[in-house]
Structure 1
């Protein structure tokens, strides 16, 4: 974005400041960055809330980062590039420190959003985006009320995605059975790529659906290494992937007619690998 950034909508005081935990900030922003390029950062009473969609509204991610406001609270929203947001937060202070996030009503240097480590006046500034340039919050990815649920160890979810992704970009079939959660390539490869999970699993209901391998890889990479993850899915409906600390992904089911090719094409264009 070029030129002078307008005053932040909804902010009447000179600036808004909130303290957040550095480790939580880094971990959750890394997950958001793996799914979307741009996001809406909302200052809410519960903390810093992020919710937005990725390419083609295929995937969304949302999370809340706990915050303690050191100024009067005001509800505000600003658009940001997730890569810039992650870098500004990562290069501010040590992982054990708290970080102050500051939003200026009349920003200098085209940078209304900035970060500072505890007891420091060294602000790491970043350029914000007009929220109109950011994909809409809460994309239309409905979850059916009767969705089957399964809670599995994160390490098993990661392993299942890795093992099932043997077909070079083909979708991955995820099924929740009466006792087993299974990952396999679609179409099946004669037993290759099958990863059943039966230990340390809590299951309610049964369902089966297919999802794009590329987004499942991103989600698996973004998940923390330990703990459990809960899957909520219905036959041919979007799947929610939720962690215990408030990180939530939603992924639309795979559809034929080149959806995966479209995703890969857009990513290649974005990375400069092909001409637009």
Structure 2
């Protein structure tokens, strides 16, 4: 396991001109990135490509995966040559928590020590990284997607209400789309109580109706939906006994995330 972070003051200051990676980004964008991926995993690989940051990760139980990207336009400065960093998300998040919401975070990788130097509101840290080869790999984001027959776009508050209501009676919920009525359904059946919620097209941001119905674990849906910012439009791609693809934009549209959640059990 990598060492804990140590104050930058204990080492010579980093020289961005000599580093293989140098980026300056809003603290809120980095914090959001860490929390979105951290909903499923404790550590991940972060690829700093020519066009921006890419992350894919799969949870230890093989039930859910996350694909996330942040365009280079989201950064105040960005100089990268394809570096892949292994990061402990809890430790990275702890450093970012020191920054004010509107602050900028300066990141520079020392290619010799393989440590990430961060300057956060004048506080300098050296963050030990995790060997990327020791982190479980995940399929590329495009390989996780599929041609879902139905797509629903719903406001974050509507989705949160459905998940919260289902959580009162069960540990799973069914998500379904009726192509004939163009209606989105959420159902949860408990030992004694049931919950049902229906939304017609007028109550949704958008709908591309196709027949779909699958059952999902609420443990995973709670984890991924609690990170959605208020007022966000969330896209749900659904099939029958197929994974749920839940995605939305963040960082003023410069970032996007998709979660892929496998169905819990077959419905007959």
CA-CA distance at 1:34 after TM superposition: 1.6
Among 198, 204, 225, the alignment partner of 1:200 is 204
Whether 1:73 and 2:80 are equivalent positions in the alignment is yes
**Which one of 96, 112, 116 corresponds to residue 115 of structure 2?**
112
- Residue among 220, 227, 239 paired with 1:222: 227
SS in structure 1 of the partner of residue 223 of structure 2: helix
- Distance, in Å, in 2 between the alignment partners of 1:30 and 1:77 is 19
Aligned equivalent of 1:98: 104
Q: Cα distance, 1:28 vs. partner?
A: 2.5
Partner of 1:237: 242
Q: Give the TM-score of the pair, scaled to structure 1.
A: 0.78
For the 8 Å contact 1:114–1:125, the answer to whether it is kept is yes
Q: In the alignment, is the contact (CA less than 8 A) between 2:30 and 2:96 conserved in 1?
A: yes
Identify the residue that residue 166 of structure 2 maps to in structure 1.
164
User: In 2 relative to 1, CA 74–90 (structure 1 residues): closer, same or farther, beyond 3 Å?
Assistant: same
User: 1 CA distance for matches of 2:262 and 2:134?
Assistant: 23
Q: CA deviation at 1:48?
A: 2.2
Aligned equivalents of 2:140, 2:173: Cα separation in 1:
22
Aligned partner (choices 249, 254, 257) of residue 247 of structure 1: 257
Contact 2:2 2:129 in 1 (8 A): no
Cα 1:14–1:161 shift into 2, 3 Å: same
CA contact (8 A) 1:241 1:249 kept: yes
Offset, 1:244: 2.6
What SS does structure 2 have at the residue aligned with 1:49? strand
Runs of 5+ consecutive residues of structure 1 not aligned to the other structure? 4-12, 257-276
Superposed, 1:132-147 pairs within 5 Å as 132-138=133-139, 142-147=144-149
SS at match of 1:164: helix
Deviation of 1:191 (Å): 6.9
Return 5+ residue gaps in structure 2 as ranges: 4-17, 251-255
8 Å contact kept, 1:41–1:80: yes
Q: Cα distance, 1:168 vs. partner?
A: 4.4
Asked if the contact 1:41/1:77 (under 8 Å) is kept, the reply is: yes
1:213 to 218, 221, 225: 218
The number of equivalent residue pairs is 240
> What TM-score do the two structures reach when normalised by structure 2?
0.80
